[in-house]
Structure 1
Amino acid sequence: MFTRKQLVNLILPLAGEQLLAVTIGLSDTMMVANVGEAAVSGTSIIDAINVLLIQIFSALATGGAVVAAQYIGRGDKESGCTAAKQLLYAITFLAAMVMALCLAFRTQIIYLVYGDLDAEVMKNAQIYFFFTSLSYPFLAIYNAGAALFRAMGNSKISMMVSLIDNVVHIGTNAVLIFVCGFGAMGAGIGTLFARILAAIAMLILICRPVNTIYVDHPFRFCFLPDMVFRILHIGVPNGLENGMFQIGKLIVQRVVTTFGTSAIAANAVAGSISSVANIPGNACSLALITIVGQCLGAGDYDQAQYYTKRLMRTAYISMGTMNIMLLIASKAVVGVYSLDPVASATAIQILQLFAFCSATIWIPSFFLPNALRAAGDVRFTMLTSTISMWVFRIGFCFILTQVFHLGVQGVWGAMYIDWSVRMIVFTIRYRSGKWKTKKVI
C-alpha cells in the first residue's frame, strides 16, 4: 500500500517536526538558564505539568487520527471528514475546560504536585504557568489538525506549521528574555503567541476541500454523538494512559525537587537533551499509526505486520546512530547550559547511561504500542502502561532514592526498569496476534 518514497515523505517530515518541537523546550531551557537556576527550575517543573496536558490532547487527537486513517483505508471520505470535524470540537472543548481550571487553581496545583518550593522558584513557576495555560486551546487545535494531516499521510503540513511556530517562539523569547528582561514571563508569553499563530494556520489548512479529508465549515456547530464515541473509544483510553503516565512522572519530579536546585536543573537539562535522541523513534512511531490504520481500514493485516517490522528496523538503526552521537557529544552539549559544576556533572552522567538504554529498550516499549493502538487494542496498552508506571517506575524510584540513596540517578534508573517491563509485555502482546480481533469502524 505504501511505496518507499511515500514512507520517506511521511517519516522525514515527522522527524523534522519532532526536532522542531524539541527545539522549543531546548531554547526555553537555554534562554531561561541564563537568567538563573531559580528561573530554569520554575519553568521546568511547570513544563512537566504542561507535558501531562499536552499528552492528553495528543492522545485524543490520536484517537481521531486512528478513526480517520481507517476511513481513508476503506475509501470512505465522507465519514473521514465527519470524524475530523467532531475531533476538532471535542479536543477544543476539553482544552478550554482544562485552561479554565489551571488558571483558577494554578497555585494550588503547584503546591499539590510539588509541595513547598523555594520562594523564587515558586514565583517563576506561577508566572510561567499562567501564560502557558492560556495557550492550551490553541495547542489542542494544532494537535487535532496535525493528527489529521498525518492520518492522510501528509506530514509536511504539520512540519511547516511547526517550523513557523518555532521561529516565532524563539524570536519572541529572545526579545522578551534578553532585551526586555522578562525572564520566565517572557518564555510564557512567547509560548502563548507562537501557539496562537500555529492554531490559526492549522485551522485554515485543515478546512481546505483539496485535502483527502477536511473540516467543512468549522463554525457551523454540529454534534454527532456516534462519531464522537468512536473517537473517544480510542482517545479516552489513550488519554488516560498518557495522563496516568505523566502524573507518575510528576510524582517522580516531586522526588527530584527534594534533592535541591542543582538536581532540578540537572534533571531538566538532561530531560531536554535526551528528548532529541528519541526523535527518530517518535517519528517512526507516529507514522505507524497512519500506516497500520490505513492497512487495517483496508482489511490487510499482512501489510500491517510487514510495515510494523520495517519501521521498527528503521527506528533501531536511526536511534542507534543518534544515541552514539549523544554519547560522544554529551559534555559539550551540557556545557551550553551554564550550569554549576555539580549540576553539569550530574547531567552528563545521566545522559551517558540514557544513550545506551534509549538505543536498546526504548523502541519496543513505545513503538509497538502504537501498532496496537492503530488496531484499536487501546485498553490493553492503557492497563499495561499504567501498571508499569505505578508499580515499577514510581515503586523503584522510591526504593532507589530512599533506600539506596542514589539521588536523581535513581530516578532515571527506575525509568529504565519501567521500559524493560513494557518491552517484554508489549512484545508478547504483539506476537500473540490478539490485536487483529479489534474493530474501530
Structure 2
Amino acid sequence: MQRSLWSITWPIFIDTALRTLFAFLSYWMVSRVSDHAAAILAITNSCILIGFTLAENLAQTSAILVAQHLGTRSMKGISSTYAASIFISFVFGLVASAVFLCFSEQFFSLFSQETEVLVQGSRYLRIMGSGFVVYSVSYSIIYILNSNAYTKYTLINSLLINGVGLALGLLIVRGNHESSAVVLDLLAKSNLFVRLLGFVFLSIVSFVVLDNFKRAEVIWIDVKESLSKMAHLGTSNAFEVLSFQLFHVVLLRIISVTGIHSVAARSYVMSITGIFEIPSLAIARGNQILLGHAIGAAEFDRARAQLRQALVSSTALSLVGLGLGLAFQVELLGVFSEMPQTVAVGLQIFEVALAISFFKGIGTNVTAALKAAGDVKFCVRLTTLSMWCLAIPGVFLAVEYFHLDLRTAWLILAADELFRLFVILRRWRDGGWQRINLVSRLEHSQGEIAESPSRA
C-alpha cells in the first residue's frame, strides 16, 4: 500500500481534534454550572476512560494484525481477524457494562463521602456504562476501517456523533444552568444516544465498503486462530492500558487530598494540553497503519523513513502548540473558571504540563511504531515500570509526605515521561523490533493471496 502519511492522517487528525474538542467543551459546559460539577465529571471520566481505553486498545490490536495481513495480502487472515475483533469487543462490552452498573457507588466512595458526589456521579457512571457494548464494538469497526485506509468514513462518523453531541450538550446546559444533577444526567443520556447513532452508521458503512467484513465462508476455527493471535498482542497491550488508566485514577486520588479546586484545575489543564497533543496523536495513528504495511512486507528501510517523517512533522506541530500554550495560559484557564483559587492551581502546573505533552507527542509516535512491529511486551514493561516505580511513588511522597505544591508533582511526571522517551528511542534505534517478524509467527495460510481491496 503506497499512501502518503498526509492522505492517511488528515481524516484521523480531524477525528482526533473533534474528540478532544468535545471533551474540552464537555468540561467547559459543566464548568458553567460549577467547579464542583466539573470535579464530579472528572472523577467519573477517570473511571469510564479505563473502559474506553481498553476497548480502543482491543481494536488497535486487531488493526495491527489487519495491517500486516494486508501487507502480505492474506485475505483469509483479514476476514478471520475482522470476526475475532467484533466478537472480543462485544464480550468485553458486556463485561464492562456489568462492572459499571454494579460498582459505580463503590468507585465514587474512594474519592468523596459527600452524598451529592456519590448520587450524581454514580448515576452518571451507570448511564454511561449501560451502553458500553455499543462503544466497544464501534471502536472495533473504526479501527478495521482505518487499517483499510477508509479513514474518511471514520471522520464522517466523528463529525456525526460529536456534532450532534455538542448541539445536545449546549441545549442541556442552557436549559438547566443551575442544576448540576440534571445537567450530568442529561449529558450522559445524550452521549449514549449519539454513540448509538454512530454505531448504526459504522455498521452500514462496513457492510458496504468491506467485502471481507461480510464473508460467509469464515468458519469458527479461523476465528479462534485469530483470537489466539490477538491474545498474543492484546493481553500485554491491555495490561499496559489498564495500568495507565489506573495510574491516572491513583494520581487523581492523591491530588484530591489537596482539595476540590486541585481536581478541577487538573481537569482543565489536561483538557487544554490535550488539544495541543492532537497533531502527534493523529500522526501516530496514521503512521502506524503505514508502518504495519511496510513491516508486514519486510520493508524495514521504508519503515524507518516513515517514522522519521512522522517525527519531524509531529515535533514541528507540537512546538507550535507549546508556544501558543505558553502565550495564552491565563486566558485558556479563564475559559473554564473564574475562581481565583482554581486558576492559581492551574497556573502552577500549566507550563510543566505543556512540556509533558511535548515529550508525550514524540514518545507516542515511537511507541506506535514499535507496536506496529509487534514489540508490545517491551512497551508494556517500560510503561509499567516507569509509572509505578518512578511517577506514583514520587508524586505520593511530594504531595502526601513532604506536602509540596502540585508543580513539584508535575515535574516528577515530566521526568517520568522523559525517561520513557529516552528508552524507547534507543529501542527503535537498536532494531530489535525487526527480529520479531510477527507475520511469520502468525502462520499465514497458503493459497489465500489476493489483491488488497480498493481504497475510498
The TM-score with structure 2 as length reference comes to 0.90
In the TM superposition, what are the counterparts of 1:21-420 in structure 2 within 5 Å? 21-111=19-109, 114-180=110-176, 182-208=182-208, 210-211=209-210, 213-216=212-215, 224-359=223-358, 361-420=359-418
- Any conservation in 1 of the 2:57–2:241 contact (CA below 8 Å)? yes
Give ranges in structure 1 of 5+ residues lacking alignment.
none
Looking at structure 1, the residues matched to 412 and 320 of structure 2 have their Cα atoms a distance apart, in angstroms, of: 25
Report the secondary structure of 1:207's partner residue. helix
Q: CA deviation at 1:115?
A: 4.0
Looking at structure 2, the residues matched to 30 and 16 of structure 1 have their Cα atoms a distance apart, in angstroms, of: 20
Q: What is the one-letter code of the residue matched to 2:41? A: T
Q: Residue by residue, what CA displacement relative to the aligned partner does 1:80-119 show, whole Å, maximum 9, x if unpaired?
A: 12211210111121111111111012111223xx343433
1:163–1:217 CA distance, 2 compared to 1 (3 A): farther
Per the alignment, residue 422 of structure 2 pairs with 424
Q: What is the one-letter code of the residue matched to 1:395? A: P
Percent identity over the alignment is 20
Q: What is the one-letter code of the residue matched to 2:156? A: M
The two structures, once aligned, show a CA RMSD in angstroms of 2.1
Q: What is the one-letter code of the residue matched to 2:173? A: I
Q: What is the one-letter code of the residue matched to 2:101? A: L
- Any conservation in 2 of the 1:77–1:213 contact (CA below 8 Å)? yes
1:357–1:101 CA distance, 2 compared to 1 (3 A): closer
Looking at structure 2, the residues matched to 250 and 216 of structure 1 have their Cα atoms a distance apart, in angstroms, of: 42
Looking at structure 2, the residues matched to 295 and 213 of structure 1 have their Cα atoms a distance apart, in angstroms, of: 21
- Any conservation in 2 of the 1:63–1:233 contact (CA below 8 Å)? no
Q: Residue by residue, what CA displacement relative to the aligned partner does 1:38-97 show, whole Å, maximum 9, x if unpaired?
A: 211111111011111111111111110000000111112332122112101111211111
Q: CA deviation at 1:223?
A: 7.3
- Any conservation in 2 of the 1:33–1:39 contact (CA below 8 Å)? yes
Q: CA deviation at 1:268?
A: 1.0
Report the secondary structure of 2:438's partner residue. coil
- Any conservation in 2 of the 1:141–1:203 contact (CA below 8 Å)? no
Looking at structure 2, the residues matched to 109 and 269 of structure 1 have their Cα atoms a distance apart, in angstroms, of: 22
1:425–1:440 CA distance, 2 compared to 1 (3 A): same
Q: What is the one-letter code of the residue matched to 1:424? A: F
Report the secondary structure of 1:259's partner residue. coil
1:341–1:115 CA distance, 2 compared to 1 (3 A): closer
Q: CA deviation at 1:285?
A: 1.1
The TM-score with structure 1 as length reference comes to 0.93
Q: Residue by residue, what CA displacement relative to the aligned partner does 1:257-300 show, whole Å, maximum 9, x if unpaired?
A: 11111111111111111111111110111112201110111121
Looking at structure 2, the residues matched to 218 and 22 of structure 1 have their Cα atoms a distance apart, in angstroms, of: 40
Q: What is the one-letter code of the residue matched to 1:244? A: S
Q: CA deviation at 1:427?
A: 1.2
Looking at structure 2, the residues matched to 52 and 191 of structure 1 have their Cα atoms a distance apart, in angstroms, of: 17
Q: Residue by residue, what CA displacement relative to the aligned partner does 1:403-441 show, whole Å, maximum 9, x if unpaired?
A: 442333334223212101111211111111111111333
- Any conservation in 2 of the 1:152–1:212 contact (CA below 8 Å)? no
- Any conservation in 2 of the 1:85–1:215 contact (CA below 8 Å)? no
Looking at structure 1, the residues matched to 233 and 407 of structure 2 have their Cα atoms a distance apart, in angstroms, of: 35
Looking at structure 2, the residues matched to 404 and 98 of structure 1 have their Cα atoms a distance apart, in angstroms, of: 38
- Any conservation in 2 of the 1:60–1:232 contact (CA below 8 Å)? no
Report the secondary structure of 2:404's partner residue. coil
- Any conservation in 1 of the 2:80–2:222 contact (CA below 8 Å)? no
Q: CA deviation at 1:351?
A: 2.1
Q: CA deviation at 1:399?
A: 2.2
Looking at structure 2, the residues matched to 334 and 340 of structure 1 have their Cα atoms a distance apart, in angstroms, of: 10
Q: Residue by residue, what CA displacement relative to the aligned partner does 1:285-337 show, whole Å, maximum 9, x if unpaired?
A: 11122011101111211111110111111110111112211222222121111
- Any conservation in 2 of the 1:85–1:218 contact (CA below 8 Å)? no
- Any conservation in 1 of the 2:128–2:192 contact (CA below 8 Å)? yes
Per the alignment, residue 2 of structure 1 pairs with 2
Looking at structure 1, the residues matched to 96 and 217 of structure 2 have their Cα atoms a distance apart, in angstroms, of: 21
